[in-house]
Every structure is written in C-alpha cells, then in structure tokens.
Structure 1
C-alpha cells in the first residue's frame, strides 16, 4: 500500500521551491489558560527570556498527540497563577500589543506582579526591569524587606533594613509578623545598641531620633551572624 500523494497547495503553486519560514518574522503562538481565560501570544519571548519555559517547550511530544498550548482546545494551563499577575507580565513582554495608556505596568502592585512571575519563571531581564522600577518608588521598608527576601533582590535588603532602623517608631508585633520574630528582634537590638556621637554628646539609639545615623555596618554584621548561625 502506497501513501497518497500530498495535495498541491494552490497558494504556492508555480513557486520553484517550497516557501521557507523567515527566522525573525514567523511567529509560533502559544495558548495559555489562566483562571479560566485564554491568552494566545507569540511563543518566542517565553523561549528567549525564560529558562523555565525554554525547557518546557523542548520536552518531546509523542507522535499523534497535540502539544499543550497549541490551540484553544488544548491550552497550556498555568495553575495557581492569578490572571492579573499574568497580564502585567504580558504588558512587559508585549508592550505594543496592549492599549497605549496601558502599555506597561505603572503602580507598585503591578510591578510587584511582574517581579513575582519573572522571579518564578526566571525571566532575568524582565526581573531586572521590575527591580529598577520598584527601586525608584517610595515603599514601606517592611514591604521592601519582604520583597527582597521573597524574590532574592539582595541590593534592597541592607538599605531597607537601614531605613527601618532609622524609623522613629519601635519595632512592633506587626513588624515581627512580616519580618519573622528572629529578624525583628535582631533589628531591634541593632537600634538599641548602636551608639553615635552627635552634636558633641553620645546619643542612645533607643531615643528614636536616629534619622541621621547609618546602621549599615551593624546590619551587615547582624546578617552575617544570622547566615552563620
């Protein structure tokens, strides 16, 4: 039994050679399912920018089986991902596809979504962009410390702890709930123990007038002690 001959394509009839796909401007799409909503986008930014997706798309697919993400009927399901977080990431990956006034994240919450997913999926260049944008915003040091620890943004940790140590209000239970009791107690100890000479007389940090004092060295020592304990 012989195979049936391939049906001629009337749109390419008469061409000397079979059409080739351009290396740059031929996009393969992928369909994602996030919280009940389908997103169909070009696949190449996920392959180029994320080790996680690159490895996922390189997994072999059995013959005769549709790959996840190839159609609306077989989308790539992103479990436990919030639709709004995913939209913010897509705004960065495809800035010209959204409405001009919504072409990129604007608020802290939106950039936090980008930081969250870019960290999870190892979009290194996107993560750097999120870090740069959030770094220019006025954020509560407690929140910034949490982000630094959750998403491994080491350049934020010491400055944010330093800002917290300068704060007039003492470290309280709400702070401890967010920081963890051990770190909260260590920061409180730094605040209370560091002495500084100011205006010709010693100033006890416990007086809560520490806005002019740099706690960086004490904080770095404290963090080193925590790492080695």
Structure 2
C-alpha cells in the first residue's frame, strides 16, 4: 500500500522544491512531490493501471479545495519513496525505446517493489517477464518472488534446483530465504535422498528422480497449486544454476510488452 501524506505541497517552501529534469512533462496533468522533487506526469497511467491511485484520484475534493494532484500546490506527496526510485518506476511508462526494457536486476526489483505496493498488476507482470530473462541465483530469485507474491509456479525449477544440488543451503542463504522455505527445501532434499517421494514412490537417489517426480515432490512440499488446464499455460525451458529443468508459466507473461501509450 502506498504511504501518502495527508498534507499538500503548499506546506513546503517553493525554494526547496526542484522539478525533475526528465519527468516534469509539459502537458502532464498529475503532480507528485517526492523528497522535495516535483514530478508532472500523465494521470491516465495511474488511474488505469493502479488500484491504489485510482481510488485516491477518484476521491472528490473538499469544498473550496483543489483535487489532489491537479496542481503544484496540491501535488500528491509520496512518503517512504526516494525520488530516484520513483523516476525508475516512471521509466516503465515513458521508456523511449518502447518494447526494449533493459536495466539492472536492482532497478527491476525497485520497480517491482513500487508496483506491488501501489498495485500496478501489469507493471508487476512486465517486471517478472524481464527478471525471467536475467541470470539470478536460485536463492535470490526465490527470495524476491516470495517477497512480492509472484506466482510460485514460476519457481518450481528453482525449488527443484535447490533440492537437487549437492551442497546444502548456507546460513546466509537460509536467512535470505526465511525459515519456512529453508525447512521445506531441507525436507524435500531428505525425501529425495531417502529414495522416496511423499506418495511412496521409490527412486535410486536424488539425481535419479525423474523430472516429473521432482516437480510433484516440490509442488507438495511448497503447496504450489498447478495452473488450470484451460490453455493458459505453456511449457518453456529455463536454466537455473541447478541445471536444465522445465518451468511452466502463464502465456500472459510470454512476449508481454507494456502497451499503455
């Protein structure tokens, strides 16, 4: 959820406020103030894409007052956000390269954090698609996807890789993943190394588990519900650090390009 101040930009001295050099756009009809930096952008993106901002922007103004965000003096103040991070978020909408979204893992994580906080579902989908292209460690990907509620079907190959690898999780990895995930991985490794799955099937060892058996084991351990069989999923190949495995993810994330212009 976004943290919005109940105050207005009029509470700041205008000498303290600077206009963002890129995202103070002539013709923009929505004003934000973030860390004494003023942004002027297009209301359309925020009303259409965000549940949080849609509700806020549809709230009628008090008698005699301006609607929030319609002028410099009524700019929406965003708290707990850095101006540099907000600029990175806006880049999704104003990217001059259209469908080419090339940036770092850290920047995508910042964008995902704000999209999750402000409920921009299509931006979240875009970020996940782009993160799927990047070379993240299995532990990092699981940690990030868990934090922001990404569909766990995308993590099946990552869980499997962590269960199949020779070395156990390190203390640092365990702290990053959290107790529940760490214990589930340990349990899955124990089942596999004991040559059995929860259904009682036998296998010659962790490396000998069939891919379908490992997927079934991981689904049960992590309580991952299969996607429906209505044609909304495709099989794609992914190569986590643990080896070549198969990942299923929704078609809506395959080839998705933000088209809100």
Same fold (TM over 0.5): yes
Determine the structure 2 residue equivalent to 1:174.
172
**Which runs of 4 or more aligned residues in structure 1 lie more than 3 Å from their structure 2 counterparts after TM superposition?**
210-214
Determine the structure 2 residue equivalent to 1:138.
135
Unaligned runs of 5+ in 2: 1-26, 197-202, 225-261
Unaligned runs of 5+ in 1: 1-26
Q: What CA distance in whole angstroms lies between the structure 2 residues aligned with 1:136 and 1:83?
A: 27
User: What is the CA distance between 1:167 and its match in structure 2?
Assistant: 2.6
Match of 2:124 among 127, 140, 156: 127
User: What is the CA distance between 1:68 and its match in structure 2?
Assistant: 2.8
Q: 1:211 to 1:63 in 2, by over 3 A?
A: farther
Flag the structure with more relative contact order, 1 or 2, with Cα contacts below 8 A and sequence separation at least 6: 2
Normalised TM-score (structure 1): 0.72
Normalised TM-score (structure 2): 0.64
| Alignment map for 1:65-76 (pairs within 5 Å) | 65-76=65-76
8 Å contact kept, 1:145–1:156:
no
Q: 1:67 to 1:220 in 2, by over 3 A?
A: same
Deviations 1:147-178 (A, max 9, x none): 22111111333222112222332112212211
Q: What CA distance in whole angstroms lies between the structure 1 residues aligned with 2:145 and 2:101?
A: 22
Q: What CA distance in whole angstroms lies between the structure 2 residues aligned with 1:202 and 1:164?
A: 19
Report the number of matched residues. Answer: 187
Q: What CA distance in whole angstroms lies between the structure 1 residues aligned with 2:132 and 2:122?
A: 15
Q: 1:104 to 1:222 in 2, by over 3 A?
A: closer
Q: What CA distance in whole angstroms lies between the structure 1 residues aligned with 2:178 and 2:216?
A: 21
Q: How big is the alpha-carbon RMSD for the aligned residues of Structure 1 and Structure 2?
A: 2.7
User: What is the CA distance between 1:90 and its match in structure 2?
Assistant: 0.5
Determine the structure 2 residue equivalent to 1:192.
190
